[in-house]
Amino acid sequence: MIFILFYILNKNKKLAQKNHNLKIKIKTHKKIRKTSSKKAKNMQISVIIPSYNGAKKLPNILKALASQSYKNFQTLVVIDGSTDNSTEILTKFITQDINFGLNDFSFITQENGGRAKVRNNGVKNAKGNLLIFFDDDMRPQPDCIEKHFLFHTKNANTEKKSILVGNVPEDLDKMQTDFQKYRAGLSRIWVKDLAPPPFLMKTPFLTGANCSMTREIFEELGGFDEKLNDAEDFDLAVRAYEKKIPLYFDIENVAYHDDFVTCVSYIKRLRQYRNSHKYLASLKPDLYAKYPYYEPSKPNFLKKVIYQFFAQRFWVSAIEKPFLLRILPKKLRYKIYDLVTTAYGTYFLNNKL
């Protein structure tokens, strides 16, 4: 009887201690939530959209931003010396109150200065201490801003802040041609191993089309290098990597890239990017010798002959007029697309399109 009584008293004591510990945990959890909430409250978001001749693109991204699950952010469009009617369209949005329901929308204009300068100017005129960058041909999905915000508030208490890069695939449902579907497939292949999110990048990678960082980090890095008209985002990633600022990729943080390419426009883009990396390497040879990721390997004799064979105008015409290749299986068609774009965009840059 005494043993039973001792057992009950001991069990009640343990239960009381467990309840006490639970109360402490609840109080601690509330305190953490309160601290995080405080950090979140102090974090103001500015969404910066550089635009050059984007009159037809801007309404799409503004509508997408108005549909975000998280609403409390500034939207700032920076018009980079556009020659179309972008200014008139955005003025109409403001004067006629057609802002798609955005809480804080404005735009500024500047003389044409390129991607780096226009983004830097956006930051100078932005209100927020959390900066989110999108290109004007992006369509952020409804949880995109929220994912950027939660990532940075979650890491607000850490000593080392970081950069978040979002996913920028093409929307397969909107791709119209076989080549566009091929290009959309490439976007998915390139990032399929960068998971689960957030994935800590082991090499420098950043796209200005969908990324975020605190103003503190942006200023520490000195912003985008205004000597560059292209590859300025890769340059920023390299400088962040050198300073040991973590770069994370979130494959689930999606902003669709409304880029309806042709074979010719895609090859031109590859050539532009190839030349911009050459220029970047000439500006900072010591730094970029450490990160030669965009320097193509020299093909052996057989590969060079194959690429030379596919660097012919006939193949570009065959891709642009898909009925010529339609009889081929998809896997073979896509292999031809690979060979033609690599030949023209990497190894035979001077061959006429």
Model pLDDT, residue 2:
37
Give the C-alpha separation, 341 to 350, whole Å: 13
Inter-residue contact 25 to 55 (CB < 8 Å):
no
Q: Which CATH class is domain 41-257?
A: alpha beta
For residue 236, how many other CB atoms are within 10 A of its CB? Answer: 27
Can you read off the two tokens belonging to residue 51? 């635009």
Strands 73-80 and 45-51: parallel
Let me know the angle formed at the C-alpha of 174 by 168 and 180, rounded to the nearest 5 degrees.
75
Domain extents in the chain: 41-257, 263-347
Give the C-alpha separation, 209 to 228, whole Å: 16
Model pLDDT, residue 33:
41
Task: Name the pTM for this structure.
Answer: 0.87
Per-residue pLDDT of the chain (353 residues; tens, 9 = 90+): 333 333 433 444 444 444 444 343 333 334 334 434 555 567 899 999 999 999 999 999 999 999 999 999 999 999 999 999 999 999 988 887 676 789 899 999 999 999 999 999 999 999 999 999 999 999 999 999 999 999 999 876 666 789 999 999 999 999 999 999 999 999 999 999 999 999 999 999 999 999 999 999 999 999 999 999 899 999 999 999 999 999 999 999 999 999 999 999 999 999 999 999 999 999 999 888 899 878 888 999 999 999 999 999 999 999 998 778 989 999 999 999 999 999 999 999 999 99
Give the C-alpha separation, 296 to 341, whole Å: 14
Model pLDDT, residue 198:
95
Model pLDDT, residue 92:
87
Can you read off the two tokens belonging to residue 153? 């508030």
